[in-house]
Copies of this chain bind each other. A is one copy, B any other.
Amino acid sequence: MIPHVTIREVSLRDGLQIEAPIPLSAKLDLLDAVLATGVREIEVTAFVSPSKVPALADAAELAAELPRLRDAHDVEFSALVAGPGGAARAIAAGLTSLEYVVSAADGHSQANVGRSTSDSTHLIADIARIAHEGGATIEVIIATAWDCPFDGPTDPARVLDIASAAVEVGADRIAIADTIGTTTPGRVTRLVEALRPIVADLPLGAHFHDTRGAGLASAWAAVTAGVTRLDASVGGLGGCPFAPGASGNIATEDLVYLLRDSDVHTDLDLEAAIHAAGVARSVVGHDLPSALLRAGDRILG
């Protein structure tokens, strides 16, 4: 059994990107609540087109707040980028950890970034160079790793090819994302097992949505198959504006509960995570799918 899983909190980016824009001060309130959980990695924003994702248009302003928070907490902040321009802007804003998304399905890739999978894959080398020259690490996230809302099921070979290309040009980490929340434990196990020889010693992460109820089951299958990094969002906040039918990320507090009681360590405090989920609900002003926010922790022995 895996003794430790690194949770990356993505509520500030994947959680908020589909929401109506909220003030920077509200984001900082959410960030404070998230930091209080003890989480060590937080994806805080994306350096992408402000017209396509207005909720994250304040990326540079938010980035300016990070140094004081990094000094006060043992945490790594990261940002998503969609191309070399965004990578350069993220570096200029002081980010030291970048994520670059490549959609394994052409349909989603075109809808998301207006490029084919092949063109996005070819950009990995440039983005990795920009990151490394700027003193940052680069993770390649392979989106629509199981299904695409436009193209249907993704041929696993397309995922393996992107992972191979990413490893080849020096990516620091690889992750696979169930962008529209369709995958299930059996499919997760098979894809992780196929990826392991390719990623070899690089950290392998996974990103699930709970659209069809199988998000946490898929996360558990990923962990038992060797994934050591999972994305999650307090409250289960989030979706994808360019993937019809996508709904909330797996909720951080539900994942922490599941892993804690399964003897898998995270760095997060469950009560603080439930509190952060409440803050997330407040800042977006609507109910969230989190189970623990309703039910609370069990009576512990």
Q: What are the residues of chain B within 8 A of A292 when measuring CB–CB? A: 212-213
- In this assembly, does A152 line the interface, its C-beta being within 8 Å of a C-beta of chain B? yes
Q: What are the residues of chain B within 8 A of A257 when measuring CB–CB? A: 184, 212-214
A158 to B: closest C-beta gap in Å? 13
- In this assembly, does A251 line the interface, its C-beta being within 8 Å of a C-beta of chain B? yes
Q: What are the residues of chain B within 8 A of A266 when measuring CB–CB? A: none
Q: Residue-by-residue, is A82-95 near B (CB-CB < 8 Å gives 1, otherwise 0)?
A: 00000000000000
Q: What are the residues of chain B within 8 A of A263 when measuring CB–CB? A: 186
Q: What are the residues of chain B within 8 A of A183 when measuring CB–CB? A: 261
- In the complex, the answer to whether B184 meets A261 with C-beta atoms within 8 Å is yes
Complexed CA–CA distance, A36 and B262 (Å): 37
Q: What are the residues of chain B within 8 A of A38 when measuring CB–CB? A: none
- In this assembly, does A15 line the interface, its C-beta being within 8 Å of a C-beta of chain B? no
- In the complex, the answer to whether A152 meets B301 with C-beta atoms within 8 Å is yes
- In the complex, the answer to whether A210 meets B291 with C-beta atoms within 8 Å is yes
Q: Which of A185, A254, A264 has the most CB of B within 10 A?
A: A185
Complexed CA–CA distance, A185 and B182 (Å): 20
Query: How many A residues face the partner with a CB closer than 8 A?
Result: 42
Secondary structure of the A contact surface, majority rule:
loop
Q: Which of A245, A291, A292, A300 has the most CB of B within 10 A?
A: A291
Q: What are the residues of chain B within 8 A of A264 when measuring CB–CB? A: 186
Given contacts A216-B217, A254-B214, A292-B213, contact A301 B153 (CB under 8 A): yes
Q: What are the residues of chain B within 8 A of A290 when measuring CB–CB? A: 213
- 18 more contacts with CB within 8 A, not counting A147-B298, A184-B258, are A152-B299, A152-B301, A153-B301, A181-B295, A184-B257, A184-B259, A184-B261, A210-B213, A210-B291, A212-B292, A212-B295, A213-B216, A213-B251, A213-B257, A213-B290, A213-B291, A217-B217, A217-B258
Closest 5 CB pairs of A and B: A186-B262, A213-B291, A153-B301, A213-B254, A182-B298
